[in-house]
Amino acid sequence: QQQVKQSPQSLIVQKGGISIINCAYENTAFDYFPWYQQFPGKGPALLIAIRPDVSEKKEGRFTISFNKSAKQFSLHIMDSQPGDSATYFCAARGTGGTSYGKLTFGQGTILTVHP
């Protein structure tokens, strides 16, 4: 079974600091790596995504770093704000067999940004 492992489980950061969430996957049959942001009582919403032929993607304060050889990718939130407090999920999209097109999610990270 394809797996995506996410850490840490929870993270507390001061306003203005950098939040870093890490994910690792165990199967090479993935072709797309999105990050989702979820606020309490809401569904996950796509935040940013990357393909494995790119090592970094930046959108505003959010950056994904991707290390294909290590099968790891991470989300960096620069200048973290209290409004960034949410649960973050990494995911990986399958390319082959019964996993084609399906997302495998990490376990989630609860981010709290203190003012």
Partner 1 sequence: NAGVTQTPKFRILKIGQSMTLQCAQDMNHNYMYWYRQDPGMGLKLIYYSVGAGITDKGEVPNGYNVSRSTTEDFPLRLELAAPSQTSVYFCASSNGGRQPQHFGDGTRLSIL
User: Count of residues binding partner 1 (CB under 8 A)?
Assistant: 23
Question: Interface residues for partner 1 in 19-58 (CB under 8 A)?
Answer: 32, 34, 41-46, 49
Q: Residue 11 interacts with partner 1 (CB under 8 A)?
A: no
Q: Judge contact between 21 and 6, C-beta under 8 A.
A: yes
Q: How far is the CB of 38 from partner 1 (least distance, A)?
A: 8
Q: How far is CA 106 from CA 14, 32, 52, 54, 82, in A?
A: 24, 14, 17, 21, 23
Query: CA quadruple 84, 88, 92, 98: dihedral positive or negative?
Result: negative
Q: How far is the CB of 16 from partner 1 (least distance, A)?
A: 29
Q: Which CB atom, from 17 or from 24, has the smaller least distance to partner 1? A: 24
Question: Interface residues for partner 1 in 92-111 (CB under 8 A)?
Answer: 93, 100-103, 105-108
> How far is residue 55's CA from residue 40's CA, in Å, rounded to a whole number?
31
